[in-house]
Amino acid sequence: MKRPETNKFTLNEEKNRKSDKHPTHRGVLDVNGQLYWIGGWYNDGQYGTWFKGDIREITPDEIAKYFGDEPKPALPSKPLRQAVLVDNSIEDELPF
């Protein structure tokens, strides 16, 4: 799962709901670097359709499980060295 930018959130439709009590949408909220799970439901009422939800802090274990460091590219075992060829036959003076 991708971690959202600071002070932003991601919210996606939950396609694998097990019952009507589970949220229709789930996501992650980042508030000043602290991550929270967010879930929401569509509701119909006297004044139309509205959205309600809940927020729960993500534990350090969940952060490690779902937002662990992305794999970093492997570094070469030896530093790369390249040869540079210099052509000294070029005249330094301009022809005009």
Predicted confidence (pLDDT) at residue 21 exceeds the cutoff of 50: yes
Distances (CA, A) of 32 to 9, 13, 29, 57: 12, 25, 10, 13
**Sequence spans of domains, the chain:** 9-67
Give pLDDT, residue 28: 93
Where do the DSSP E strands lie in the chain? 9-13, 25-31, 34-45, 48-57
Residue 33 has pLDDT above 60, yes or no: yes
Residue 58 sits at the vertex; the CA angle it makes with 52 and 63, to the nearest 5 degrees, is 135
What's the N-to-C CA distance of the chain in angstroms?
Answer: 63
Mean pLDDT, rounded, of the chain: 79
pLDDT of residue 80 exceeding 80, the answer is no
How much is the pLDDT for 72?
42
**pTM assigned to the model:** 0.63
